[in-house]
């Protein structure tokens, strides 16, 4: 019998109760990405069926955007390294990261996000946070929720792209 989904396993130690849904979504995302890509070849991982973004792009992007959204939630500006990581999402290099590299990248990003959730004071959740250079309006809770749903959106794209790639005979 398989393990229940993350949200049905109970509280995550140290996570404030109001942020538990964010933690559960991120844990589920990490597991879903690993299950979808762990055994893919580099060619299949970076394949762009029909011109779509590759599963590898979506995995890199969800890890990077998770870090960026949590930075904004802390009220901080992005660093030069975060901007460089954003560039690598578009052009991952030659050779591009392997499935194992990306599983580790996603795992590291989720672990960092969980550590930040543990350090988040629930009394700050409605504090204003500006997003990006334009300082578009949000708050801590909005950014953390968006980090979870944005991550889940890209997990869906990873899973779907992998199914298409496998359907085309690549793995």
- According to the model, what pLDDT value does residue 92 have? 84
Interatomic CA distance for residues 26 and 8, integer angstroms: 13
- According to the model, what pLDDT value does residue 90 have? 84
- According to the model, what pLDDT value does residue 93 have? 86
CATH code of the domain containing 133: 1.20.120.450
Residue 109 lies in a domain: yes
**pLDDT band of 94, cuts 50, 70, 90:** confident
Residue 5 lies in a domain: no
Residue 10 lies in a domain: no
Lowest mean pLDDT among 69-78, 81-90, 108-117: 81-90
pLDDT above 70 for 11: yes
Consecutive H or E run containing 131: strand 128-131
Interatomic CA distance for residues 99 and 37, integer angstroms: 6
Residue 1 lies in a domain: no
Tens digit of pLDDT for each residue in 125-147?
A: 999 999 999 999 999 999 999 99
Interatomic CA distance for residues 47 and 78, integer angstroms: 30
Tens digit of pLDDT for each residue in 95-113?
A: 999 999 999 999 999 999 9
Range of the domain at 24: 16-164
Tens digit of pLDDT for each residue in 27-64?
A: 999 999 999 999 999 999 999 999 999 999 999 999 99
Residues 6+ apart with CB under 8 A from 72: 78, 129, 130, 131, 132, 138, 143
**pLDDT band of 89, cuts 50, 70, 90:** confident
Number of structural domains found in the chain = 1
* Helix segments in the chain, DSSP class H: 20-37, 42-45, 55-73, 80-90, 99-118, 140-167
Residue count of the chain? 171
- According to the model, what pLDDT value does residue 170 have? 67
State mean pLDDT over 15-27.
98
**Distance between alpha carbon 128 and the CA centroid of its chain, in Å?**
23
Residue 72 lies in a domain: yes
Residues 6+ apart with CB under 8 A from 23: 6, 12, 15, 114, 117
- According to the model, what pLDDT value does residue 171 have? 65
Residue 170 lies in a domain: no
Residue 89 lies in a domain: yes
Interatomic CA distance for residues 45 and 122, integer angstroms: 39
- According to the model, what pLDDT value does residue 169 have? 80
Residue with tokens 């591009």: 96
The mean pLDDT value of the chain amounts to 95
Evaluate whether 117 touches 141 at the Cβ level (below 8 Å): no
Q: Which neighbouring-strand residues pair with 138?
A: 129
Residue 141 lies in a domain: yes
């Amino acid at each position: 019998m398989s393990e229940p989904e993350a949200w049905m396993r109970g509280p995550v130690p140290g996570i404030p109760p109001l942020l538990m849904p964010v933690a559960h979504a991120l844990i589920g995302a990490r597991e879903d990405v690993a299950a979808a890509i762990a055994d893919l070849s580099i060619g299949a991982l970076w394949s762009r069926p029909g011109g779509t973004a590759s599963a590898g792009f979506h995995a890199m992007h969800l890890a990077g955007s998770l870090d960026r959204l949590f930075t904004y939630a802390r009220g901080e500006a992005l660093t030069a390294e975060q901007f460089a990581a954003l560039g690598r999402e578009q052009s991952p290099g030659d050779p591009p990261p392997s499935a194992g590299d990306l599983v580790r990248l996603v795992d590291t990003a989720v672990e960092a996000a969980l550590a930040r959730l543990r350090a988040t004071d629930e009394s700050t959740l409605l504090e204003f946070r500006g997003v990006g250079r334009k300082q578009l309006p949000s708050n801590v809770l909005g950014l953390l929720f968006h980090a979870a749903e944005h991550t889940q959106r890209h997990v869906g794209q990873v899973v779907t792209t992998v199914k298409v790639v496998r359907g085309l005979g690549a793995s």
